[in-house]
Amino acid sequence: MANSEYEYVKREFEFDRHLPASNWIVVRIDGCHFHRFSKIHAFEKPNDESALKLMNACATSMLEKFPDIVFAYGVSDEYSFVFREETEFYQRRESKILSLCVSYFTSVYVMKWKDFFPNKELREPPYFDGRVVCYPNMKTILDYLAWRQVDCHINNHYNTCFWMLVMSGKTEKEAQQTLKGTFSKDKNELLSQQFQINYDNEPAMFRKGSSVYREKVETKLKTDNYGNPIKRTRMAITVSNVDIIGPDFWERHQYILREEEKYRYEYVKKFDNIHRLPRCNWAVVRISACQYDQFSLIHSFDKPNDETALRLMNASASLMMERFPDIIFAYGFNNEYSFVFQENTELYQRHERLILSSCSSCFTSFYMMKWKEIFPYKELVQPPQFDAEVLCYPKPKIVCDYLSWRQAECHNRNQYNTCFWMLVKSGIGENEAHEILKGTLSKDKNELLFQQFQMNYNNVPAMFRKGSCTYRQKVGKIAEVEDKGVAKEQWDVAVAHMDMGPEFWRKHPYIFNSK
Ligand code: GTP
Ligand code: MG
């Protein structure tokens, strides 16, 4: 199919989970509303041999159709299919594998119905739901299968008793009451004493469920010229009703679930867990300094704000914008900085962890390199460390709301800290200062500053109150005309301390339309 201009909607938006490598993949399907389905088709109770054989025939067809299914186990209206550990069936895409399994099973069920119920019309379309579970090692996959067989035993034991009681004249309620709280031993006694039934003699298909797998069989083709039989062994799909809880079966059939040898080392790459940023989303990388209290104490930063330290943060952010052209905007205050990447950035093919780690590392490096220039008389005595996280927003409006939220946070913290340190510097203890400010509103803090310290909060430097916006702006055109007669625009990184309200975005419409 030719690529159209619309094709990107598939390439870039469709996510199909790939199941983890080196795990046994189990698809367990279960008949939907089979309680009703079995009633409508008058299945025998508690077990309808034909219905179970039909299920087994479908499972056999599954193993024929999908060679990577190494084992299947079924009981009642459910069947589990185990794909070999290293299967590359549809590149292990979960939805492909799951939908194909339920769909193929269903169509075989309908197609083979007549073979098992020649005198019964299929009166309603049967259908199945399914789930996929991955088991990473031999113990867990064997435990999974054992769990299903134990379940089979418990249900069948109960149902056998239940229907014997009902057939002997008890109502369903009475039968339920009789069986309430009984143990396995009690049920065996009930069956043998009241109905002369030895549970162990019940058909194995009912007691053990059905296992489907490939088994070596010898076939005698003909005899050779000397009268010796010519035998050939081949793998044939077998249905059996055996115990798969104990080790015996698995010891005799080690080839079914053997762990595959890995000859190629490259298979380890399949474990890479690459998470990519969703398409058409603006990514925000927020960096913040860890243990900043201690760091600012050691370097005796001014309280509540050290202008030089903030300038160092801004200088590092400006360098980030030069280093990563896809950053369209940055906002910082105190010990944090948020970097907004344009929606279609292809940085590291949108590999989230690479973006996050390189930003955090690059910012740290700029901070270190710029330290000497900005703090010429202060030695850097402790290495700073920054953590980072990535956030994704699908609309510019939401990015703006995110930035406004950070700016509100800047205001709240700065106003609080300004009051707190004014109180402390005036001789009040730190605990007492916190007590005084507890529960105060913005208005109260402005009043406190004004009345006690004759300070107008609005005259505090804008960098402290508003934080710092870092963005590109046009500074003119380079006069020389290029080949095509177009003057080249010149851009510079600006740092401003203002409200990021609607007015700001109206004045800088190009920030979100940088294409
Ligand atoms: P969902 O799976 O949730 O859609 O409901 P369900 O009605 O299929 O019930 P569930 O899968 O929990 O149980 C399977 C049901 O199928 C049993 O409760 C029985 O009613 C019915 N069933 C399965 N096998 C037989 C059978 O051999 N004979 C009869 N009479 N009923 C069966
Ligand atoms: Mg069901």
What pTM value is reported for the model? 0.71
What DSSP string runs through 127-153? -EEEEEEEE-SHHHHHHHHHHHHHHHH
For ligand 1, whether the C-beta of 35 sits within 6 Å is yes
Spatial CA neighbour of 238 closest among 223, 249, 246:
249
Calculated CA dihedral for residues 15, 20, 25, 27, nearest 10 degrees: -30
Give distance in angstroms: CA of 159 to centre of ligand 1. 12
Give distance in angstroms: CA of 31 to centre of ligand 1. 7
Please enumerate, as own/partner, the contacts of 113-121 that have beta carbons within 8 Å and a separation of 24 or more: 113/54, 115/54, 115/57, 116/50, 116/51, 116/53, 116/54, 116/57, 117/41, 117/50, 117/54, 120/41, 120/42
Task: Using alpha carbons, list the distances in angstroms from residue 23 to 20, 86, 141, 420.
Answer: 6, 7, 9, 57
Calculated CA dihedral for residues 37, 38, 39, 42, nearest 10 degrees: 130
Query: How far, in Å, CA of 235 to CA of 232, rounded?
Result: 10
Output phi, psi for 239, to 5 deg. -110, 125
Give distance in angstroms: CA of 148 to centre of ligand 1. 15
Atom of ligand 1 nearest to the CA of 36: 7
For ligand 1, whether the C-beta of 31 sits within 6 Å is yes
Atom of ligand 1 nearest to the CA of 49: 27
For ligand 1, whether the C-beta of 151 sits within 6 Å is no
Q: How confident is the chain (515 residues) per 10-residue block, as mean pLDDT?
A: 67 76 94 96 97 98 97 98 95 92 95 97 94 92 96 97 97 97 96 96 98 91 83 92 97 89 67 81 94 95 96 97 96 97 94 92 94 96 92 93 95 96 96 96 96 96 98 77 64 94 93 76
Which pLDDT value is given to residue 481? 53
Atom of ligand 1 nearest to the CA of 39: 30
For ligand 1, whether the C-beta of 131 sits within 6 Å is no
For ligand 1, whether the C-beta of 76 sits within 6 Å is yes
Query: How confident is the model over 344-394, as pLDDT tens digits?
Result: 999 999 999 889 999 999 999 999 999 999 999 999 999 998 999 999 999
For ligand 1, whether the C-beta of 162 sits within 6 Å is no
Atom of ligand 1 nearest to the CA of 52: 27
Best residue among 38, 80, 117 to mutate for probing ligand 1's pocket (most ligand atoms within 8 Å of CB) is 38
Output phi, psi for 491, to 5 deg. -120, 155
Give distance in angstroms: CA of 128 to centre of ligand 2. 8
Which pLDDT value is given to residue 1? 45
Q: Is 176 helix (H, G, I), strand (E, B) or coil?
A: helix
Taking a 5 Å cut-off on Cβ, the residues next to ion ligand 2 are 30-31, 34, 77
For ligand 1, whether the C-beta of 116 sits within 6 Å is no
Is residue 328 within 8 A of residue 512, CB to CB? The reply is yes
Please enumerate, as own/partner, the contacts of 60-69 that have beta carbons within 8 Å and a separation of 24 or more: 60/212, 60/237, 60/239, 61/104, 61/108, 61/112, 62/101, 62/104, 62/105, 62/108, 62/212, 63/212, 63/213, 63/214, 63/237, 64/237, 65/104, 66/100, 66/101, 66/104
Q: Is the dihedral of CA 314, 317, 322, 325 positive or negative?
A: negative
Give distance in angstroms: CA of 124 to centre of ligand 2. 15
Give distance in angstroms: CA of 165 to centre of ligand 2. 24
Query: How confident is the model over 469-479, as pLDDT tens digits?
Result: 999 988 877 65
